[in-house]
Amino acid sequence: MASVNIGKKLRDARLQQNMSLDELQQITKTQKRYLIAIEENDFDSMPGTFYVRAFIRQYASAVGLDGNELVEIYDGIDEPEDIETAIQYETLDESRTQMYDEDSQTKRFMSSLPAIVFSLIGLAIAVVVFYITWQDRQSSPMIQPPASEIIRESSSESSSESSQAPVSSSTESSTSSTSEPKAPTEVKFENESGVTVNMSAINVANPAKFEFSAVTGPCWVGIYIATAANNDNGYFFQETIQPGQPKSVEIPAGTTQVVISLGASEYMEFKLDGQKAEFNPNNTGIGPRNINMTLAYAQQSQTGQSQQSQQPQ
Phi, psi dihedral angles at 8 (to 5 degrees): -65, -40
Cα 105 versus chain centre, distance: 46
Pairing outcome for strands 196-204 and 237-241: unpaired
Q: Which residues in the chain come in under a pLDDT of 50?
A: 1-3, 78-94, 140-143, 145-178, 300-307
Which residues sit opposite 186 in a β-bridge? 202
The reply to whether omega before 207 is within 30° of 0 (cis) is yes
Superfamily for the 6-81 domain: lambda repressor-like DNA-binding domains (1.10.260.40)
User: Rounded distance, CA 293 to CA 222, Å?
Assistant: 13
| CATH 1.10.260.40 segments of the chain | 6-81
Q: Where are the alpha helices (DSSP H) in 144-235?
A: 156-176
What is the structure's pLDDT at 228? 66
DSSP class of 253: T
pTM: 0.40
pLDDT digits (tens, 9 = 90+) for 10-55: 999 999 999 999 999 998 888 999 999 899 999 888 888 898 899 9
Which regions of the chain does DSSP assign to beta strands (E)?
Answer: 186-193, 196-204, 209-214, 219-224, 237-241, 247-250, 257-262, 268-272, 275-276, 289-297
- Which residues 6+ apart lie within 8 Å of 280 measured at CB? 197, 265, 289
What is the structure's pLDDT at 179? 54
